[in-house]
Structure 1
Amino acid sequence: MRVCTRTYRKHDGFDYQIHCQRPRIPLKKNKLEWSGQVDSSVKMSNMIDQWRDELMSRLQKNDEWDLWLEHFLESVTDADRFKSVYELPFIDDVITITMPESSKCPDDSTEMREMGNDEFKQKNYAEAFEYYTQSILKAPAGSEELALGYANRSAVTKEEKKYELCLKDIELALSHGYPVNLKHKILERQGRCYYELGLYSEAAKSFEKAIFKLQKAKLKKEEMETREKKLNALLERCKDKPDDEKTLKGSKYMDPLPEITDIKSEKFPCASDSFSLKYTKEKGRYPVATANVKVGDILVVEEPYCSVINHKYLATHCHFCCERAEVPVPCSECSNVVYCSLKCQEASWETSHSLECSILPLVTELESDIAQLSLRMVVKATFKYLKEFKEKYGKSNEQETEVENTCSLGFNEDGVYDSHDYWAVYNLVNHTFDRKFPDLFRRTVMAVYLLKCLEKTEYFPADDEECSQTDHIEVGSHILRHLQMLPCNAHEVTEFLIEPGEMLTSNSIGIGSAIYATLSLFNHSCDPNVVRHSYGDKCVVRAIHNIKKGDEIVDSYSIIYPTMEKEKRLSDLRRQYYFECACLACKKDWPMYEELMNVPPSFKCDKCDTPIGSLEGEGGEETTNDCENCGHSNYVAKKVQTIVSYESDFNTVFSQVLSGDITKQSLSFLIEHQIRLENWMSRPWQDINKCQEAIKQCYSIQSNHYTLSKKKK
């Protein structure tokens, strides 16, 4: 998966590829001819295609094709579709599952650590860090190799003066049974880190422990005395020194998670009270503002029902929260994933990884976030819940009906739309009956494969009375539903990559995918009035236009009017999301960015927002522009003077943002200026776009971000 790949350099210096996050995982065209290439976001291996072709070949050879195809096409539920493939008599001969061997190996861990030692001696700290991390990943749980890996990696971060990171690894080494005879060394390192951080009382404790553990070290008497003397000297340096009034830093990869601007909604716990829901036959369900919303207001802060890390970033980002892992902590059972902390490791094991651990290599082999996310959704829901699901809700995987697509769908018994409730995400639109046979069949084959992987775990009870084949099919039908729903509803988890001194080439990348029940309610506009940013796997939605009470709150499905011509936008949206865009930018055929340079600024009527043009001639303050729509007389001279008076300050702040010099003051100025322009000026206008893009740049640096190493000249 990628961010929007259209690269369009504009005169204002911004590149829309940087700011236009891909909100959903798009589909390629559903071709009428046979083709497996129906999902551009799912870079599947040839394995699924081969199984699909083999299944078709066997059906045709046995003269069963016509009858089977008729049954598949007439199926009205995902359970029926899934069953028609899952119960093929030769399915186990075609789709075979070979469980991977354990990736933990003490010999491999030792080898990696020794390679890290070689690099460390040569002061190649980046390389040493990577080797030590690999040593940690390969080390079996509870082994000495694991503790030694953590300890050696702490030596790297100590040399790089990353004292907080060093302390984390030292704690991990000590908690995993670091050898008693070596503890004095690592405790001394711990004390030195605390000392450098100004935490002298903690440093003293570490030096005292080191002196005590020194007695258990296997050292000669002379060396023992020398080390004890050095430790006592370090301890003496800590005396009578007050601790600095600072605490260990939090994440440097994102600011603290912001809060909703207004009070929280009772019906939508992750949204502002300014957020409500409406339904029409044409639009389906969509959010509207129940009060006036200003640029910068935070409307939604949502945790996903579940999220996954893209297979490319399994070694660098937390498998649970998606935050970048500075000192990666491995799973205790496999070498396939890392965590940012023991807390996330434990939470992941409890919610999903205990079942996914052994089969994750089989799932990631598909190179598909959608496949992994579909599987994780049913794992998190649990077998017990899904077994009771059909009976509880009356229907399972039934055909969508317009009657059911009301504002109440997905709400719990208390009338709350809960992001953590499976019922909420289950009811998101999946476009089953818009899909062609090649697409549905391929997804069904994938669903069967994923279920067979899950059957290799302890997800299903072993007792036949508790779990029948019908139950397996029911779970498989849920996986199939999600494989259809997620391409239209899943959102990317993004990270902003910062090029030092090269802000123009900095860009957002997709590091994973997540399913958010509330965010999925937003409709698309080629001129969205909100923007999303990831904080770990949590998503923050801010207003980037002023939104009036009663107006629809609209997102972008990665397609925006300044970067793509109208016909191409309409075609892509129609093909990928099954709707005809009717946003204002499409209705009015707003120009792309290069053409906006020639569009003169136009004020809008204070009463009805109709464009009224620019100030004519050199009229005084009493000169008015009369609105042709409502007849209201608008005084624009003072507005012109105000905008001109801020022009110099805006250009200065804009240049600062382009250079990466972003402060709270600069963001505040940009928001105030955008509000001013939004109140007075009619879109589209280049200055509104420029200010908006600068604001989005500021928010990108507050959310998930990572500063790349400086390029060597």
Structure 2
Amino acid sequence: MMDLPCLQWQDHVAQKWIGLNPEFKEKFISMEEIDDVFKCALSLTTQADADFMQSISAASSVQKDSDQAAECRQKGNSCFKIRDYSAAALHYSQGICLAPQSSEQLSLCYANRSAALYHLQLYQECLDDVDRALKNGYPSHLSHKLQDRRTACLKDLPVGAKAGEEDGNPARGSHSGPGRVKAPSVQICPEAAVSSSVDKGRHLVAVDRIAAGEVILRERPYSCVLLAGVQEVKGKHGGAGRDVFGTESRRCHWCLAETLCPVPCGACSYSRYCSTGCQWDAWEEHHRWECPLGADLTVTGAMLQLALRVALKAGIENVQMARGPIGDGQNESESNSSGSNPCQSSSSDPYRSVFHLLHHVGQHSPTLRFLCAVTVATVCLRLSETGPPPASWTLTRRPAGGSVEEEGDAAWSPEPWLLGSTVLRHMLQLRCNTQAIVALQDAGAANSSVQSSREIRVASALFPTLSLLNHSCRPNTSLAFSTGIRAAPCGSETSADCSRASVAEDQRSARGVTVTVRAAKVIAPAQEILHCYGPHSSRMVTRERQRLLHEQYFFLCQCEACSLQEEEEEEEEEECKEQRPSSGGTPQGSALLCSKCQGSLKRSRDDGGSGFSCSLPSCGHRMSAPEVRNELQEIRLTLERAVELLEREKPGEALKLLERTRRQSGLILAETHPLQGELADATARAYATMGAWNDAASQLEKSVAAIGLQYGEDSIELAQQLFKLAQLRFNGAARGPALSVIPKVRRLLCLHLGPHCPELQELKAMEDCLRG
């Protein structure tokens, strides 16, 4: 769904909508052109709107502040004293971002962070911070400490590593970027091609057989935006005293790579980067215009910020070309179900693909259109107040006998509304075409012997070619995201004999986000290449999937899974809804048991389907729908309490609760029910935390059976469970069982993540140890 503006701003715009003249409101509702919608909203937007936006964003100020920087440094010192160096480095980094340029507080934060990085054995990063501290006026009477640290770092630095880093900051007026080579934005394997039809629009098909696991597509986004506040890092002390850092503190705001020592923006306290190269790229593309808006963009939501970045990157010339005739004898046709581009796509002109994504302006509700349009208009007003227009939105003019005018002398041209209309277009498009970039986040205490993880959304991105893929509730592809370093070319993996020097050069020259699409099964020639937009046939029933897809993407899904399941689910759908857990559930593998004889419990047909009865005629036991619902809800709530106990490092209490719940659940749930799988997984985690590895493995095997039935024997979900099982068998020194499960895990991980994923390296190390 869209990341809408904050509630205060939504209420403000809602009041404007309520106050509109009925005739004017009807006129707005009838508008079908983006330009008309935006011009209408712009005519209603006043300075009072801009002032209100600025007032509610004041609580999220991004101004530099020496006092706040000092507080962060003190928090870092507290973590440093208990040897929690990672948390200390993050606190010092926050202080670095808050400290004014060339201030003593900035030098002290850099110096303290260098100490934390040294203890983390990040010697090159430590040397960089030593240099930065000295350049920013570190007290001379303390400089001997930094010199001693430099000497220790140089002693421990690997032979051949380059010491020192040029500390360029584009926010301070530098105009000479690192000059890095850009990687290709999209790579499609030779066995796939773009096709077009009236009913499906432009889409990808196989022109030759594509083997399972083969890379079909690698693409870097046209633009992306980091989502704030969705990730936490827990200190060694854990529990209530843990240190929590949002994604904005942990990841580069350009390439999304994780970093403990970000390079700050010189003008604001929010944006930070993993390197001066990423800092420069972001500054040139969008941040030099975002930075003056400060906290205003925190009010507007991620979708507007992403839409603004797309428009800033495109520039007025690309927009005007895209708004003109399509040319080359092409005609706009019906888009595919995702609203993807019906026009000619080209790696040399990716913006044309972006511009012609369907915006569905007539299908969004009038109030949502009004909210988006007024928000964009207000941001454009704020942007015009901060100075001249972005260089990419200024048509270059050369006066007679003179040179091209400087950026600071430029005026908004040709029309001030064009940028806003373009941003609004992209904002509406993104509801159907944005891609959530996900990553695994560690959960539980940092000092626990067992680490759990959960999938979180760290960014939103726009991938023009990925948007060509139509949806299927049972797709034939698997998606994986990488951040920080460019992936290998499409159809190949990094060569084993690739020199370390060339790999290092690749890492320096092509940082960024990449999506990799692999074939999850064999795809025959002429077969369409499909991926899932979220609602999957293994997680929810057909009508629920169709409802969610229609609400967000404005199409009624009739994929193969929906067509096959719709008829058989008409009678069974309500039963599946009662059985599935609150997180989604699945019609496959769900099974209710009769609490009296343990036979199958099916929905009654003779009472209008309002209850359940035992399938065995000799029993005939009945249960009402509310009784079944209450039983399942009680199991779910107990499971959640047990997981909470595990998070609080109380595995013994959690285990007692889980064992009691499993005995009770066995009276109504078959072993293959998804809830039984979740109970077994939590029980395995409790045993593992207590060091009972083999008991944990026995429980996890039950979860593996449920997962395999729910998601399929070739699913990534099963791969993840089997990987945990291999770890448990290895820790329990169960050599035979461990060696038997490793090949299964390897096959599935290669299928979905490729042969060079970190999990396969860990499996190889385990296998070598067991065989050795």
- Aligned position for 1:252: none
User: Which residues in structure 2 correspond to 1:35-434 (within 5 Å)?
Assistant: 41-59=2-20, 64-66=21-23, 68-88=24-44, 91-96=46-51, 97-98=53-54, 103-117=63-77, 119-121=79-81, 123-173=83-133, 176=136, 178=138, 182-199=142-159, 269-312=186-229, 313-366=247-300, 368-383=301-316, 385-386=318-319, 388-389=320-321, 392-393=324-325, 402=333, 409-411=342-344, 416-418=346-348, 421-434=350-363
Report the alpha carbon displacement of residue 179 of structure 1 after superposing the two structures with TM: 5.5
CA displacement, residues 309-358 of structure 1 (integer Å, 9 cap, x when unaligned): 00222222111111112212211111012211111111111111111012
CA contact (8 A) 2:318 2:351 kept: no
Report SS of the residue matched to 2:32.
coil
Q: Is the 2:340–2:433 contact (alpha carbons within 8 Å) kept by the matching residues of 1?
A: no
Structure with the higher fraction of residues in helix conformation: 2
Residues 390 and 157 of structure 1: is their aligned pair in 2 closer, same or farther, counting only changes over 3 Å?
closer
8 Å contact from structure 2 (residues 322, 352) kept in 1: no
Question: 1:73 Cα deviation (Å)?
Answer: 2.9
Distance 2:435 2:373 in 1: 22
Match among 445, 448, 457 for residue 377 of structure 2: 448
Give SS of 1:154's match: helix
The residue that corresponds to 2:638 in the other structure is: none
Which has the higher relative contact order, 1 or 2, with Cα contacts under 8 A spaced 6 or more apart?
1
* Structure 1 equivalent of residue 464 of structure 2: 517
1:56 maps to a residue whose letter is W
Percent pairwise identity: 26
TM normalised by structure 2 equals: 0.60
Quote how far apart the aligned CAs of 1:404 are: 8.9
Alpha-carbon distance change, 271 to 167 in structure 1, aligned in 2, over 3 angstroms = farther
- Of the three residues 406, 413, 421, the one matched with 1:477 is 421
Return closer, same or farther for 1:668/1:102 CA change in 2, 3 Å cut-off. Answer: closer
**Residue 593 and residue 73 in structure 1: after superposition, are their counterparts in 2 closer, same or farther (change >3 A)?**
closer
In the superposition, relative to structure 1, how do residues 78 and 94 fare at CA in structure 2: closer, same or farther (>3 Å)?
same
The alignment partner of 2:538 has SS state of helix
Tell me the secondary structure at the aligned position of residue 188 of structure 1.
helix
Whole-Å separation in 2 of the counterparts to 1:137 and 1:692 = 39
How far apart are the structure 1 equivalents of 2:161 and 2:759? 33
SS of equivalent residue, structure 2 residue 457:
strand
Distance 1:115 1:655, change over 3 A: closer
**Which residue of structure 1 aligns with residue 438 of structure 2?**
494
- Segment drifting more, 284-293 vs 162-171: 162-171
C-alpha distance in structure 1 between counterparts of 2:347 and 2:725, whole Å: 40
Q: Report if aligned partners of 1:355, 1:459 keep a CA contact under 8 Å in 2.
A: no
Tell me, yes or no, if the aligned pair for 1:277 and 1:286 is still in contact at 8 Å: yes
Gaps of 5+ in 1: 1-25, 27-40, 207-258, 599-645, 674-690, 706-713
Is contact 1:295–1:671 with CA below 8 Å preserved after alignment?
A: no
**Alignment equivalent of 1:541, drawn from 517, 521, 527:** 517
- Specify whether residues 597 and 104 from structure 1 end up closer, same or farther in structure 2 by C-alpha distance, changes over 3 A only: closer
Deviation per CA, 1:77-131, whole angstroms, max 9, x where unpaired? Answer: 111111111113x633344353867611334434543453455345454553333
AA of the residue aligned to 2:302: D
**Other structure's SS at 1:382 match:** helix
SS across alignment from 1:335: coil
Per-residue deviation, 1:580: 1.7
SS in 1 for 2:441: strand
Aligned equivalent of 1:561, options 520, 537, 540: 537
Distance of 2:756 and 2:251 partners within structure 1: 21
* Alpha-carbon distance in structure 1 between the residues aligned to 2:450 and 2:33: 50
What is the DSSP-based 3-state SS (H/G/I as helix, E as strand, rest coil) of the residue aligned with 1:300? strand
Question: How far apart are the structure 2 equivalents of 1:111 and 1:278?
Answer: 58
In structure 1, how many angstroms separate the alpha carbons of the residues matched to 2:64 and 2:527? 56
Residues 355, 458 of structure 1: 8 Å contact kept: no
CA distance in structure 1 between the partners assigned to 2:360 and 2:719 by the alignment: 48
C-alpha change, 1:390 and 1:516, in structure 2 (3 Å) is closer
The answer (yes or no) to whether the contact 2:201–2:334 under 8 Å persists in 1 is no
> Aligned AA for 1:518?
T
2:673 is matched with which residue?
A: none
Where does residue 561 of structure 2 map in the other structure? 585
Q: Hey, what's the Cα distance between the residues in 2 that align with 1:480 and 1:183?
A: 53
Task: Measure, in 2, the Cα distance between the counterparts of 1:652 and 1:177.
Answer: 53
Alpha-carbon distance in 2 for matches of 1:652, 1:136: 41
Distance 1:316 1:459, change over 3 A: farther
Residues 613-632 of structure 1 correspond to what in structure 2 (within 5 A)?
Answer: none
Structure 2 regions of 5+ residues with no counterpart?
A: 166-182, 230-246, 398-409, 484-512, 570-584, 592-712, 731-738, 763-772
| Matched residue type, 2:155 | Y
Task: Specify whether residues 148 and 392 from structure 1 end up closer, same or farther in structure 2 by C-alpha distance, changes over 3 A only.
Answer: farther
Greater CA deviation, 513-522 or 403-412? 403-412
Of stretches 148-157 and 123-132 in structure 1, the one that deviates more from structure 2 is: 123-132
Q: 1:51·1:445 contact (CA, 8 Å) conserved in 2?
A: no
Q: TM-score, normalised by structure 1?
A: 0.64
- Mapping of residues 660-679 of structure 1, within 5 Å: 660=727, 669-670=743-744
SS of the counterpart of 1:336? coil
- Paired residue for 1:10? none
Contact 1:410 1:425 in 2 (8 A): no
Deviations 1:655-683 (A, max 9, x none): 445455899x999945996xxxxxxxxxx
SS of 2:266's partner is coil
1:175 & 1:298 partners in 2: Cα distance?
Answer: 47
Q: Distance in 1 between matches of 2:5 and 2:68?
A: 30
Q: Does 1:508 align with 2:455?
A: yes
**Contact between 1:116 and 1:128, CA under 8 Å: does it hold in 2?**
yes
- Root-mean-square deviation (Å): 4.2
8 A Cα contact 2:117 2:126, kept in partner: yes
What is the SS of the residue equivalent to 2:110? helix
1:672 & 1:56 partners in 2: Cα distance?
Answer: 57
User: What is the CA–CA distance in structure 1 between the aligned matches of 2:536 and 2:379, rounded to whole Å?
Assistant: 35
**1:411 Cα deviation from its structure 2 partner:** 3.5
Distance 2:160 2:221 in 1: 41
Tell me by how many angstroms 1:494 deviates. Answer: 1.5
